Amino acid sequence: MTNAAMTIVIGFEGSANKIGVGIIRNGEVLSNPRRTYITPPGQGFMPSDTARHHRAVILSILKEALEQAGLKPADIDCVAYTKGPGMGAPLVTVAIVARTVAQLWGKPLLGVNHCIGHIEMGRLITKANNPTVLYVSGGNTQVIAYSERRYRIFGETIDIAVGNCLDRFARVIKISNDPSPGYNIEQMAKKGSHYVELPYTVKGMDVSFSGILSYLEDAADKLLSSGQCTAEDLCFSLQETVFSMLVEITERAMAHCGSQEVLIVGGVGCNLRLQEMMGVMCKERGAKLFATDERFCIDNGAMIAQAGWEMFRSGQVTALEDSWITQRYRTDEVEVTWRD
Amino acid sequence: SSLDVPFPSSREANIALRSLSPDREPRKGGISKELTVSGSTRWSADEARILRVSVDSFLDHLLLVLETMEMFGSPVSQ
């Protein structure tokens, strides 16, 4: 009989341009190697190229994960992987390897919701009790709170994710994608000082970013060539605008839920200016802010392992026939059987 | 048209089948494929181009399964 506390879970993640394999035992991250598919400045990452990237490295990352954890396949108790949401071709590539090793090693399989992976990793690392969660990345922007066995979406983007807005703006002004466009925007923003007025689009509990992006796609060249502002000023202005919007909808959800904790997860959550602005709002409300560093904010395998562990210990398992991946997978579709 | 893929054992053929069959074809209409446990696959498609993409993709995924099996050992007995 397996002691659930000592269960060792391996998690596979590759829904966007990061491919990672992580191993967790009893809430301890034993290994978490990851690679990022980085495109040249001005270019985004396409599904088939991304899948090709993941395919080329996934088996060596898997080997690395086992070696760094000092484990053999026989030590693994279950295999978790990202069922969705995300890009189709990369998701399939990763799922195929997860299914194959699960069968080879005779272990149960767990299809994990990517968003819930972020949430459970955030809860594990920060020990936040029952926070209002702001999940912000290149693919997702949601404000989430737990209630009665569901992670309920209180507010979200009605078009593109905030990270997508940032990434595509980076392409407009040809900022490097290494290590990530968002990181480079953050560094440039620190050197900006002139605030350029941009559309501010909060819609009740929700936000919209496609209008801001279109505005910048049209206006950036003119603003820069006329000398009205620098690229650094645009980075600064964009961050101030979109982050204010995120702070506003997070605060609105906190007020609804009577919550005194905020947890920021997802790649955009690495941004220190966002954390700073959220911190100011939290302080005003007497609330606590929780965030993780780039090891866990950015997509990684261990977060999938952690969510898989929670699912497994509360009795969930994914049958192979049901292990198909899905590009759309709402956070509130999952029954959170591991919480009261 | 059909494609036959030989495996060292039916155990490994089964593993490959179960790793490759769960996902739906990305394109809704115009293509369907049927995998069977004897290790052969049967496709039917409305257009040759769709067929080629689907076959390419399948073979690539099959290769990935085979490489995974090679690297991470033979199936453990239960």
- Tell me: is residue A159 an annotated ligand-binding position: no
Is B72 close to A96, i.e. CB distance below 8 A?
A: no
Chain-wide mean pLDDT for chain B? 75
Give the domain B10-72 fold: TATA-Binding Protein (3.30.310)
Query: Between A and B, how many residue pairs show a Cβ–Cβ distance under 8 A?
Result: 68
Closest CA relative to residue B27, chosen from B1, B3, B57: B57
Band the pLDDT of A329: cuts 50, 70, 90: very high
Q: Where are the domains of chain B?
A: 10-72
pLDDT digits (tens, 9 = 90+) for A234-260: 999 999 999 999 999 999 999 999 999
**DSSP H or E segment with residue A30:** strand A28-31
What are the chain A neighbours of B69 within 8 Å (beta carbons)?
Answer: 100, 104
Residue among B15, B26, B64 whose CB faces A104 most closely: B15
A179-183 average pLDDT score: 98
Is A88 annotated as ligand-binding? no
- A58, with CB counted inside 10 A (0-12, 13-18, 19+), is buried
CB contact under 8 A, A96 and B78: no
| Amino acid in the structure at residue A186 | E
A182 assigned to a ligand binding site:
yes
Whether the per-residue pLDDT at A1 is higher than 50: the answer is no
Q: What is the mean pLDDT of chain A?
A: 97
Cα–Cα distance measured from residue A19 to residue A86, given in angstroms and rounded to the nearest whole number: 12
- Sketch out chain A's domains with CATH numbers: 8-120+297-322 (3.30.420.40), 130-293 (3.30.420.40)
Asked if A105 lies within 8 A of B72 by C-beta distance, the reply is yes
Distance between CA atoms of residues A238 and B2, nearest Å = 54
> Does A62 contact B at CB distance below 8 Å?
yes
- Report residue B28 as tokens: 């809704």
Q: Which H or E run includes A98?
A: helix A88-105
The Cα–Cα gap between A58 and B34 comes to: 27
Q: Using CB atoms, which residue from A74, A96, A104 is nearest to B20?
A: A96
Predicted local distance difference test score (pLDDT) of residue B20? 92
Please name the amino acid found at residue A271.
N
CA–CA separation, B64 vs B16, rounded Å?
10
Read off the pLDDT of residues A42-93 as tens digits, 9 standing for 90 and up: 999 999 999 999 999 999 999 999 999 999 999 999 999 999 999 999 999 9
**What is the CB neighbour count within 10 angstroms for residue A183?**
20
Percent residues over pLDDT 70 in chain B: 55
Q: What is the predicted pLDDT for the residue at B74?
A: 64
Question: Encoding tokens for residue A51?
Answer: 């899948």
Q: Are A134 and A162 in contact (CB under 8 A)?
A: no
Q: Which residues of A touch B16 (CB under 8 A)?
A: 100
Rounded Cα distance between A307 and A324, Å, is 18
pLDDT band for position B78 (cuts 50, 70, 90): very low
Shortest CA gap B66–chain A (Å): 9
A256 known member of a binding site:
no
A87–chain B Cβ distance below 8 A for any pair = no
